[in-house]
Structure 1
């Protein structure tokens, strides 16, 4: 189960959504309902170290979504790191990474999903005239504030999210319930080839340097980054999970 409405910087939330369950089928249904090609889907990543389990993951991997079991420790660390950084001001087709500030409570699963499909090669799989295509057209020229408002105002996005949230295997909690899990996304920029940590609760996308591995995010460079997140957070915590956005080789 997912998301929390805590924010390292402020507590503002325009509205609340029912949290998404961290289930690849739920995430896959949502991207398909938004108009992402059925050639893309989410799958579980069961190990970051076992080569046999890693071999089962279809390639290429276009994005990774990491689920934290306890948002508090993660937020505390990043609140200090982000304190001296300016707010992100990127917009337009020249953006290295398309980033959304989270202003919808309990929706970090949705923001992670949007970061996954709006960046890198995944955006080439958005069907024309679909809700996702219309949203991309609308938000691309916008700065951070108007872009956030566009997500808040999108009835197509809200309806698709609600339908997916109610399809999980566990009972969906009320939209304004406080839950501790938190999603972040890792993507490869379609502009500069860098690996980015994408989290709408930070001040902007975090450039982690060269991604390596061409268009496949399951290369050793990315795995090292994700392992570090998990190893740091697992001190006293269990329950991390990882999903990959993959392209069907068939």
Structure 2
């Protein structure tokens, strides 16, 4: 089971959800419930280096969602990095990426999903008049705090999430405020400038991680290097990483 780290104070969360299991079937069901076409799904990525295992993942990979237990090494790195970063204030439907500030506790899986499907070419697979298209229409012209409120106030989003969060291979906690110390980070490719972005609702905003070629996807060398950076930072002390990709459905 994966949920939020203690990177920001509890008081900045305004409501709580039951944490979502790190499970591609669960993730896929939720995006379809929210209005993403059945042409997309999430799939586990079992290796960063084994070409045969990577070949099992359909391409192009439109987004990556990395799941890992928060460590003191990670939190120290984030604290130093965030201290030098200004708060993001973007409020446009034509930003390089669409980013959502997290104000719902234990919902970092949901924010990872939203960041994956609301950016790059994945956004083209969102059905008109769906929950997601309505949320984007209401929220993208708003600054981050007001945009966050749109997610908080969506009864349709909460209802779909509540049903799916009860599924998976592990029993979800009864208390949505229970701390289960895992974290999700999403990586996407901008539809505007072919830059890779790190998207984490617990941080101050989207992080530009540099450009890749137009014909490269998130499982190209540039995307894989971003994931290796997170793994290598732990110096072998944290092996409980898992990775999912948003890909074409078979």
Pick closer, same or farther for the CA change 1:16–1:10 going to 2, 3 Å: closer
Task: Report what 1:225 is aligned to.
Answer: 226
Gaps of 5+ in 2: none
Quote the Cα distance in structure 1 between the aligned partners of 2:100 and 2:71.
19
Segment of structure 1 superposing worse, 148-157 or 233-242:
233-242
Superposition pairs for residues 109-128 of structure 1, below 5 Å?
A: 109-128=109-128
Quote the Cα distance in structure 2 between the aligned partners of 1:192 and 1:210.
8
Asked whether the equivalents of residues 120 and 189 of structure 2 are also in contact (C-alpha less than 8 Å), the reply is: yes
Superposition pairs for residues 3-152 of structure 1, below 5 Å?
A: 3-4=3-4, 6-8=6-8, 11-152=11-152
TM-score by length of 1: 0.95
Q: SS state of the match for residue 233, structure 2?
A: helix
Segment of structure 1 superposing worse, 210-219 or 138-147:
210-219
Deviations 1:54-88, CA, capped at 9 Å, x for gaps: 00000110000000122543232111111122100
Structure 1 runs of 4+ aligned residues shifted over 4 Å read: none
Quote the Cα distance in structure 1 between the aligned partners of 2:216 and 2:40.
14
Q: SS state of the match for residue 233, structure 1?
A: coil
RMSD: 1.4
Quote how far apart the aligned CAs of 1:94 are. Answer: 2.2
Asked whether the equivalents of residues 131 and 156 of structure 2 are also in contact (C-alpha less than 8 Å), the reply is: yes
Quote how far apart the aligned CAs of 1:216 are. Answer: 1.8
Task: Report what 2:213 is aligned to.
Answer: 212
Q: SS state of the match for residue 62, structure 2?
A: strand
Matched, 1:198 2:205: no
Quote how far apart the aligned CAs of 1:212 are. Answer: 2.8
Pick closer, same or farther for the CA change 1:72–1:128 going to 2, 3 Å: farther
TM-score by length of 2: 0.95
Q: SS state of the match for residue 243, structure 1?
A: strand
Asked whether the equivalents of residues 4 and 184 of structure 2 are also in contact (C-alpha less than 8 Å), the reply is: no
Quote the Cα distance in structure 2 between the aligned partners of 1:154 and 1:233.
37
Pick closer, same or farther for the CA change 1:91–1:144 going to 2, 3 Å: same
Gaps of 5+ in 1: none
Number of residue pairs matched by the alignment: 249
Segment of structure 1 superposing worse, 206-215 or 51-60:
206-215
